[in-house]
Amino acid sequence: MLLIKSVRMVDWRRSSITPYDILIEDGRIRKIDSEINLSGVPVIYGAGLTAIPGMVDAHVHLRQPGYEYKETVETATRAAAAGGVTALCAMPNVKPCPDSPENLENVRAFQRDSKIRIIQSCAINRDLDGERSDWKELLGSGARFFTNDGLPVDRVSDMVEILKFSRETGVVVGEHPEAPGMDEKIHNAEAMMICRDIFLNERIGGNLHIQHISLAESVRYLEKCRHKNIKFTVETCPHYFCEVEKGLEMGMYEVYPPLRNEEDRQAIIWALSTRLISIIASDHAPHSIEDKKLDKPARGFSGIELLFSLCYNNLVRKAIIDLERLVEFLSLSPSLLLGIEPVCFETGKRADIVLFDPDEEWCVEESAMYSKGKNTPFLGSRLKGRIKYTIASGEVIYPFGELR
């Protein structure tokens, strides 16, 4: 059992002004009341803190197996816990690639001891760009999310068939929108692939999820499609709506899709404010410092432990959206996408809970990051809103080693 005392609660349905006590038992919320008094139970005193549902990061690169020098499941999930993330979807660009039941089981073996719930995505194509994976066999092994993230689904015939498969089975198809052979810094490289996939899905009606959009052109096209009742969901990442100040080594700014201009940034903010974009994910992509210093630097940002604070500072504190909406983007919508039970403050619900201090200011420092990857352009940024406790299935998993 665990008792949280005197904490303000905010979820995707409502927020409380007065503080409440929350009693947790057997991984679930047992009771919520104005005052709960029990002896012999571990207590978190939450005065001044706000409780929100644990975050669900729909786009994470764990790197293990195959690239342990960049990240391991252990270091990534420690970073996740420090960032208030209690569940995540892992991308399939590891070695071996989860493109068969055997490889999927191999990858999952590294995740068994995780306190963070991990939904492992599977590759649409073998090794992400070969012949089609056996989707039916993978479905039988529990796969629910298919993507070649890092690469688009190149062949139209493959995209047609995986969308049909998703319509028939309920799995989700995650698309990395990039027109093959085009310079990704040319804006229509992203928008062209989105147009292709939306065109196909208008006729097929599959479960299409468009990953990490970054462009005003993409936003304009998707807004038109929204009114046609075409089935799709959209995610973006903090680095596409936060201002990124220069000053670090240039390799630290290399990411895919690349950082865009102010018009694009404002378009992404607008798309969030209107719910055209329904999910914010980190696209956590840790790299070694050596890989970032290459002549052609590795692309991607380490972001899972900064996900909430960047969103809170750049969306809620700037009054673009309220905290309830942010919880919707970070917890409710990705839960629905991944087919897991959404968390809210209600008796009987899963006790995935985050407590944060909305007023505590802190600095993003390399030495304080738990991920192996320190590759973020937000190093040196001062943020308000710090995660103080992360609770997963009723267990305090951050700070590490407390209240066990």
How do residues 149-160 score in pLDDT, each as one tens digit? 889 999 999 999
- Of the listed ranges 62-71, 91-100, 185-194, 282-291, the least confidently predicted one is 185-194
- Asked if 392 and 324 sit in the same domain, the reply is no
**Peptide bond between residue 238 and the one before it cis (omega within 30 degrees of 0):** no
What is the tally of structural domains in the chain? 2
Give me the pLDDT at residue 194, please.
96
Q: Is the pLDDT of residue 137 over 80?
A: yes
Q: Is the pLDDT of residue 224 over 80?
A: yes
Give me the pLDDT at residue 150, please.
87
Q: Is the pLDDT of residue 404 over 70?
A: no
pLDDT band for 245, please (50, 70, 90 cuts).
confident
List the domain range (segments joined by +) for residue 387: 2-51+348-361+382-398
Q: Is the pLDDT of residue 122 over 50?
A: yes
185: closest CA among 311, 72, 299?
A: 299
**pLDDT average, residue stretch 5-33:** 96
Check residues 256 and 102 and name the one with the higher pLDDT. 102
Q: Which residues form the catalytic set? A: 283
Is 377 a domain residue?
no
Give me the pLDDT at residue 185, please.
61
Q: What is the CATH number of the domain that holds 7?
A: 2.30.40.10
- Asked if 172 and 23 sit in the same domain, the reply is no
pLDDT band for 188, please (50, 70, 90 cuts).
confident
Is 94 a domain residue?
yes
**CA–CA gap between residue 15 and residue 343 (Å, rounded):** 14
**CA–CA gap between residue 5 and residue 240 (Å, rounded):** 37
- Asked if 145 and 210 sit in the same domain, the reply is yes
- Asked if 6 and 87 sit in the same domain, the reply is no
Give me the pLDDT at residue 246, please.
86
- Asked if 329 and 228 sit in the same domain, the reply is yes
Q: What's phi and psi for 378, nearest 5 deg?
A: -95, 10
Copy the structure tokens of residue 266.
């404002």
Q: Is the pLDDT of residue 378 over 50?
A: yes
Mean of per-residue pLDDT scores for the chain: 96
